């Protein structure tokens, strides 16, 4: 069986832990048929109605369905148009599925001449769902080693025009999401310090890499990663998403195993990254995320959220509410 397929995922099925726990999933993607990973409304609804009590989700940009013509700076608005239409279709075609309540779109934040025009266009296209922008910092040292390589501009975090664009988001009440790699965490830190008026969301723990030169090296840089996370958390405008840590480029090997992990097996490997981040940020600035369908290459939706619930059992009821829904509701204004 091929890892990531439904047949492969179905080898591990667990009873739902704490099934009445309210969940807002603040990070998933969608693609039109025949593009990207296979993940549309049917797949999203199948996952979010499989037993956990998911009450809303947030779509995060993945360069899907850009406009193919018209001004270059407005082409990312096509993705927002696609997701808004998908959200409407989801409500009618899958009435039991939770709504796509928020959209984090893409814009070139360094393009001062057009930025407000693009933000206005996203606002209009989103049907009341527009919440922020992800204009990522990610830049692969070894793109040939990555299944999902990234080549955003070097030094982007210190570019004055880019920082002004991030600041503009805060002025408009919008958030900034960043995807980047663990060796760029200090870049994200510098950006957060330079733009204190914008809510900065750290995606996927800063994506610890475990392929290429970093294969088998998680322990080698874990202590530095801990320091970086603590310093980022010291910036009061930062928030952490807890998830996206079993992507192929993380190098934990779940995506190539003959059988997907159980929730206990997941935690045996992943727990320390989660607990340190929660310790630094506090539950009031942390939110569990699925990062589906990318993480679906390694684990099922049901088992993933079971793992989160088992991990969170050590925290108080009020802290669990924040981790699973409250922080996402506040940060993304849901």
Model confidence pLDDT, tens digit, residues 217-274: 999 999 999 999 999 999 999 999 999 999 999 999 999 999 999 999 999 999 999 9
Structure tokens at 326: 């409250």
Per-residue pLDDT, 221: 98
**Rounded Cα–Cα distance for residues 118 and 112 (Å):** 10
Residue 23, pLDDT score: 98
Question: How far, CA to CA in Å, does 328 sit from each of 42, 281, 301, 331, 333?
Answer: 24, 14, 18, 5, 8
What is the C-alpha to C-alpha distance for residues 63 and 18, in angstroms, rounded to an integer?
Answer: 35
User: CB of 260 within 8 A of CB of 299?
Assistant: yes
pLDDT digits (tens, 9 = 90+) for 140-167: 999 999 988 888 888 999 999 999 999 9
Other beta carbons less than 10 A from residue 92's beta carbon: 8
The pair of three-digit structure tokens given for residue 162, joined into one six-digit string: 């880019």
Angle at 93 between CA 79 and CA 31, to 5 degrees: 25
| Residues 192, 180 contacting (CB under 8 angstroms) | no
* Per-residue confidence (pLDDT) for residue 3, from 0 to 100: 87
For residue 1, the model assigns a pLDDT of 85
CB atoms within 10 A of CB 146: 18
In the prediction, which pLDDT does 153 show? 82
Q: What b/e string do you get for 285-308 counting C-beta neighbours within 10 Å, with b at 16 or more?
A: bbbbbbbbbbbbbbbbbbbbbbbb
Separation of first and last alpha carbons in the chain? 39
Q: What are phi and psi of 315, to 5 degrees?
A: -100, 165
pTM equals: 0.97
Neighbouring C-beta atoms of residue 147, cutoff 10 Å: 11
- Integer Cα distance of 181 and 162 in angstroms: 19
Omega prior to 139 cis, within 30 of 0: no
Q: Cβ(162)–Cβ(318) under 8 Å?
A: no
Q: How far apart are CA 116 and CA 168, in angstroms?
A: 9
Ranges of H-type helices in 38-144:
41-48, 77-93, 115-126
- Written as six digits, the tokens of 202 are 């750290």
Instruction: Please tell me the distance from the alpha carbon of residue 239 to that of residue 178, in angstroms, as a whole number.
Output: 11
Amino acid 238: pLDDT: 98
Task: List the beta strands (DSSP E) in 137-282.
Answer: 175-178, 200-202, 238-242
**Domain limits of the chain?**
6-331
**What is the CA 107 to chain-centroid distance, rounded?**
17
Q: How confident is the chain (334 residues) per 10-residue block, as mean pLDDT? A: 91 97 98 93 97 98 96 98 98 97 98 98 98 96 90 91 98 97 97 98 97 96 98 98 96 95 97 98 98 97 98 98 98 98
What number of CA atoms fall less than 13 Å from residue 112's CA on the CB side?
Answer: 7
Cα–Cα nearest to 158, from 207, 194, 107, 106: 194
Which architecture, in CATH terms, is 6-331? Answer: Alpha-Beta Barrel (3.20)
- For the four alpha carbons of 223, 252, 265 and 294, in that order, the dihedral sign comes to positive
Q: What is the structure's pLDDT at 234?
A: 98
């Amino acid at each position: 069986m091929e890892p990531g397929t439904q047949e492969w995922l179905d080898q591990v099925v667990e009873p739902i832990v704490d099934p009445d726990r309210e969940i807002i999933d603040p990070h998933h993607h969608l693609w039109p048929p025949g593009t990207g990973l296979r993940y549309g409304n049917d797949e999203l609804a199948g996952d979010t109605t499989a037993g956990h009590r998911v009450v809303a989700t947030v779509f995060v940009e993945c360069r899907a369905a850009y406009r193919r013509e018209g001004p270059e700076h407005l082409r990312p608005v096509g993705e927002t148009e696609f997701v808004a239409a998908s959200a409407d279709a989801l409500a009618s075609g899958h009435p039991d599925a939770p709504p796509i309540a928020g959209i984090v779109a893409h814009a070139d934040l360094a393009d001062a001449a057009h930025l407000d025009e693009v933000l206005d266009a996203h606002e209009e296209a989103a049907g009341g769902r527009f919440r922020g922008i992800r204009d990522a910092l990610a830049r692969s040292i070894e793109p040939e080693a990555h299944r999902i390589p990234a080549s955003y501009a070097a030094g982007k975090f210190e570019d004055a025009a880019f920082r002004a664009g991030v600041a503009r988001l805060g002025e408009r009440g919008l958030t900034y999401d960043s995807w980047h790699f663990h060796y760029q965490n200090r870049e994200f830190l510098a950006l957060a310090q330079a733009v204190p008026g914008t809510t900065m969301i750290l995606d996927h723990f800063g994506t610890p890499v475990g392929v290429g030169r970093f294969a088998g090296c998680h322990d080698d840089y874990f202590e530095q990663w801990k320091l970086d996370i603590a310093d980022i958390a010291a910036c009061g405008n930062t928030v952490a998403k807890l998830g996206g840590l079993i992507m192929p480029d993380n190098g934990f090997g779940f995506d190539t195993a003959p059988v997907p992990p159980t929730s206990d097996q997941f935690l045996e490997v992943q727990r320390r990254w989660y607990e340190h981040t929660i310790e630094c940020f506090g539950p009031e600035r942390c939110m569990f995320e699925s990062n589906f369908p990318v993480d679906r290459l390694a684990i099922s939706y049901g088992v993933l959220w079971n793992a989160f619930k088992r991990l969170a059992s050590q925290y108080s009821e009020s802290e669990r509410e924040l981790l699973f829904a409250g922080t996402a509701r506040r940060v993304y204004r849901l």
